[in-house]
């Protein structure tokens, strides 16, 4: 497993996303993933599976201190009181006395407390030793810049949707300048990469699947981690098998091509329910 050094943290480049994983299946997946070699687990208060994620971590033959554990604040937990209270509730559900990373799940809406209040309470959790690092999710470069200005504790990451069909170069450039990790969720475009002709062709050169090529493309970029969701042992194993090959500069550029982004735009539009 490659590790990304960002600020004072060491973050495993590939993590396990747990969105839509619930019940015994979630617990078993987390346990299996950790025992296979995963060390980065991502969840959220909104996912409703923190208890199962915690049970999976406890069941695995892996020390808690070796797991980089991430959760996110729900929209209703943005006041100073609810940040502190809900973070402790998350830790209780996860069966841990500290979090490696706590994120704001989405930008604060007008009816929510000010971003400064939310970040101030998150900073208190860092000062109290309950949270090692804080970050944001789904923030634009301008919002990320605002968050960095408002927070005494460094913003470790911005977790956003990122894959070959979703251009995040502007955000990635900002993150690299300011030593912020970009964490890519939905890195396989909800399965959209699986039939991509270019990814199929590139994968054939290395004996890899299109999904493995897409993940390799992400983690090969400096300052990018990926958190694909997987539940079967087969997919968990396949996602891990991306550190034994390297894409050429030409292949990296081909995957990032503007024509692919345009194709991806139409693909993503086709997935919308309206």
The stretch 27-53 carries a mean pLDDT of 97
- Judged by average pLDDT, the poorest of 135-144, 145-154, 215-224, 250-259 is 250-259
The stretch 154-176 carries a mean pLDDT of 96
Give the list of residues 6+ apart from residue 244 with CB closer than 8 angstroms, or none. Answer: none
**Burial (0-12, 13-18, 19+ Cβ within 10 Å), 71:** buried
- pLDDT at 264 (0 to 100): 52
Cα–Cα distance for residue pair 201/208, rounded to 1 Å: 10
Query: Which residue bears the tokens 């991509």?
Result: 196
DSSP secondary structure letters along 232-265 = SHHHHHHHHTTSS----HHHHHHHT-HHHHHHHH
Instruction: Please tell me what DSSP assigns to residue 140.
Output: -
Q: Express as a percent the part of the chain with pLDDT over 70.
A: 93
pLDDT confidence bin for 152, thresholds 50/70/90? very high
pLDDT confidence bin for 274, thresholds 50/70/90? very low
Exactly one of 47, 162, 165, 174 is catalytic; name it: 47
The pLDDT of residue 89 is above 90: yes
Residue 150, H or E segment: helix 141-150
The b-or-e profile of 27-64 (16+ CB within 10 A means b, else e) is bbbbbbbbeeebbbbbbbbbbebbbbbbbbbeebebeb
- pLDDT at 256 (0 to 100): 85
- Is 162 catalytic? The answer is no
Domains in the chain (CATH in brackets) are 3-271 (3.20.20.100)
Q: Identify the CA nearest to 239 among candidates 88, 67, 26, 38.
A: 38
The pLDDT of residue 180 is above 70: yes
Contact 17, 228 (CB under 8 A): yes
Average of per-residue pLDDT values in the chain: 93
Cα–Cα distance for residue pair 128/155, rounded to 1 Å: 17
What is the pTM (predicted TM-score) of this model?
Answer: 0.92
7-20 residue pLDDT tens: 999 999 999 999 99
Structure tokens at 261: 């982004």
The pLDDT of residue 201 is above 60: yes
Give the list of residues 6+ apart from residue 211 with CB closer than 8 angstroms, or none. Answer: 188, 193, 194, 228, 238, 239
């Amino acid at each position: 497993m490659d590790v990304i050094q960002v600020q004072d943290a060491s973050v495993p480049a590939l993590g396990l996303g747990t969105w839509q994983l619930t019940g015994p299946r979630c617990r078993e997946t987390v346990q299996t993933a950790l025992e296979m070699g995963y060390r980065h687990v991502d969840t959220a208060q909104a996912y409703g599976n923190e208890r199962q994620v915690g049970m999976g971590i406890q069941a695995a033959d892996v020390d808690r201190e070796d797991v980089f554990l991430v959760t996110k604040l729900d929209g209703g937990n943005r006041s100073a009181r609810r940040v502190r209270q809900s973070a402790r509730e998350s830790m209780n559900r996860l069966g841990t006395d500290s979090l490696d990373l706590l994120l704001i799940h989405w930008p604060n809406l007008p009816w929510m407390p000010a971003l400064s209040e939310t970040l101030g309470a998150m900073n208190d959790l860092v000062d109290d030793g309950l949270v090692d690092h804080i970050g944001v999710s789904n923030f634009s470069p301008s919002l990320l810049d605002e968050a960095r200005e408002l927070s005494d504790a460094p913003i470790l990451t911005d977790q956003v949707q990122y894959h070959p069909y979703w251009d995040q170069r502007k955000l990635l450039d900002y993150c690299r300048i300011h030593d912020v990790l970009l964490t890519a969720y939905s890195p396989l475009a909800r399965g959209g990469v699986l039939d991509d002709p270019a990814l199929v062709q590139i994968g054939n050169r290395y004996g890899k699947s299109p999904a493995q090529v897409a993940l390799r493309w992400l983690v090969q970029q400096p300052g990018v981690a990926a958190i694909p969701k997987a539940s079967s042992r087969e997919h968990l194993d396949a996602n891990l098998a991306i550190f034994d090959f390297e894409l050429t500069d030409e292949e990296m550029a081909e995957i990032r091509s503007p024509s692919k982004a345009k194709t991806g735009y139409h693909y993503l539009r086709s997935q919308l329910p309206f």
